[in-house]
Structure 1
Amino acid sequence: MKFKDILFETQGRVAILTLNMPETRNVITNANTIQEIEEVCRMINNDIDVRVLIITGADPAFSAGGNVKEMAKKEGMFAGSPSKLMEGYRKNVQRIPMAIHGLEVPTIAAVNGPAIGAGCDLALMCDMRVASTKAKFGETFLNVGIIPGDGGAYFLPRAVGMAKACEITFTGDIIDGQSAMDMGMVNYVVEHDQLMEKARELADKIACKPPEALRMAKRLLYMGQYLTLPHLLEQSAAFQALCHNTNDHMEALNAMFEKRKPDFKGE
């Protein structure tokens, strides 16, 4: 499928979504961009052969987040009365966290440059983050007199804890990749020219797992953030019963006994 604002490709079991609007530093508040991100997420959820998604940006930025020129002119999703603006957020940029969070496969943000405002939140929507030495992170909404309108208040505390989330949000400070890793926001920091290699290394390690169990494991981890322990155990038992009855489970056991690499088919 041909896209306008993004590049999308699959390399074996790994899919790569690249925000491809370097002239705007990959802002994500345009209607077409949002629609294309949603479409990719739908495609991946319907394709058992895709096991991991990497999200990155065309240099020099990962994403500048919202289109501040449109904000200043009160155009696009930033136009109209307060009630219109509220609907603008709900019907536009807030569709991105719903789509990314709804992905059934593990996601990795390969942060190649500044990830600012909604761009920072886009990275946080992913399950894991690999940052280049050129990466910068900023929850900078208060610096321009607004609040995180795209889910940052949900994702940031889950990544770094409430105290650090408050500090990052209230100060609007921009932090580098190493500082982000020190506080648990980022999994790895690598040289810029090694970013995609490291992201692929992590993706490939995950992509070799049985795809149905992998998707269930992801769902279970996120359920664990809001379910009580008894409810989580009940859900775990149900998922485990399904896993025990897959061909991939038997393939894993046979491969272990036969001392070979398993070949998982999602069956």
Structure 2
Amino acid sequence: MTGFIISEREGGIVTLTLNRPEKRNAISTRGECDEVVDAVEALRRDDTVRCIILTGAGTSFCAGGDLKGMRDRTGITQGDTAAEMRESYRRGIQRIPLALYELDIPTIAAMNGPAIGAGLDLACMCDIRIASEKAIFAESFVKVGIVPGDGGAFLLPRVVGMSKALEMSLTGEAINAAEALACGLVSRVVAPDDLLPTARALAEKIAANPPQAVRLTKRLLREGQHLRLSTLLEMSAAFQALAHDTRDHREAVAAMLEKRAPSFEGR
């Protein structure tokens, strides 16, 4: 481990912090990719985790890739041939979207500063995005003569729509927090000091609900982006049957009828 990821837990909420502030939290090495994936996989196996917050140390969320590494073909972009470079992406940074986007635990990106290139795509792998007023965002791969290699071509259009995604991807220009809010890239913009408290308060609201219902709901919304309505309805019926069979469902109904606060066990 290189210490790229700091994991902190309060109750059922886990905060993962990218911890390379001197490099603006750029993802520079295969080991850093492994740390992100390993942290996510460890949380996936923990049924007691209710929500995850992802943020960055210092003044940046994530500056994307390491330009010096690109120049020297080291780190996540190592390889002397195109075939070697392809494998470097597949075995390195591309493992992050496969792990994070498919996670059933709800995730919140708390963007404290610039989210550039792979950093923007990392935020788009999360379910909900909250931004500091100081944050800026750019799908800037074209500016350095490359393409989104980490899933951005899949993720960004699903967040902001195809027209805005093409505008951002083909110009590489940055947008500010107000523009990000207007195009739906983020759902809230708050003062810098309010960012983590706001993310935490939102995570607590999510965590207060029955965890199995929350995870099943997230999975339905994810799958609904790709399925026909008839197929999604079949999946919804199956998931609903599972939800109706939980203790937490029965507790939620009983608590409403008895006008009291529910107590969920995750069962």
Give TM-score scaled by structure 2 length: 0.97
Instruction: Tell me the equivalent position of 1:175.
Output: 175
Instruction: Give the percent of matched residue pairs that are identical in Structure 1 and Structure 2.
Output: 50
Distance in 1 between residues matched to 2:222 and 2:28, nearest whole Å:
26
Within 5 Å, give how 1:183-194 maps onto structure 2: 183-194=183-194
Instruction: Tell me the equivalent position of 1:60.
Output: 59
Does the 8 Å contact 2:2/2:32 carry over to 1? no
Within 5 Å, give how 1:3-14 maps onto structure 2: 4-14=3-13
Change (3 A) 1:30 1:125: same
Within 5 Å, give how 1:166-245 maps onto structure 2: 166-245=166-245
Letter of the aligned partner of 2:134 in structure 1? K
Instruction: Tell me the equivalent position of 2:44.
Output: 45
Instruction: Tell me the equivalent position of 1:246.
Output: 246
* Aligned-residue offset at 1:183: 0.3
What SS class does the counterpart of residue 63 from structure 2 fall into? coil
Change (3 A) 1:122 1:245: same
Does the 8 Å contact 1:61/1:115 carry over to 2? yes
Instruction: For residues 36-65 of structure 1, give each alpha carbon's deviation from its aligned partner in whole angstroms, at most 9, with x where no partner exists.
Output: 111111121111111111000001110011
Instruction: Tell me the equivalent position of 1:94.
Output: 94
Instruction: Tell me the equivalent position of 2:262.
Output: 262
Distance in 2 between residues matched to 1:48 and 1:3, nearest whole Å:
26
Does the 8 Å contact 1:44/1:103 carry over to 2? no
Instruction: Tell me the equivalent position of 2:111.
Output: 111
Does the 8 Å contact 1:29/1:92 carry over to 2? no
* Aligned-residue offset at 1:18: 0.1
Distance in 2 between residues matched to 1:122 and 1:156, nearest whole Å:
10
* Aligned-residue offset at 1:149: 0.5
* Aligned-residue offset at 1:197: 0.6
Unaligned runs of 5+ in 1: none
* Aligned-residue offset at 1:29: 3.6
Distance in 2 between residues matched to 1:182 and 1:239, nearest whole Å:
33
Residue 151 of structure 1 pairs with residue 151 of structure 2: yes
Residue 125 of structure 1 pairs with residue 125 of structure 2: yes
Give TM-score scaled by structure 1 length: 0.97
Distance in 2 between residues matched to 1:258 and 1:44, nearest whole Å:
34
Unaligned runs of 5+ in 2: none
Letter of the aligned partner of 1:6 in structure 2? I
More deviation, 31-40/227-236: 31-40
Does the 8 Å contact 1:28/1:67 carry over to 2? yes
Distance in 1 between residues matched to 2:246 and 2:74, nearest whole Å:
52
Letter of the aligned partner of 2:191 in structure 1? E
* Aligned-residue offset at 1:34: 1.1
Instruction: For residues 153-177 of structure 1, give each alpha carbon's deviation from its aligned partner in whole angstroms, at most 9, with x where no partner exists.
Output: 1110000000010001111110111
What SS class does the counterpart of residue 130 from structure 1 fall into? strand
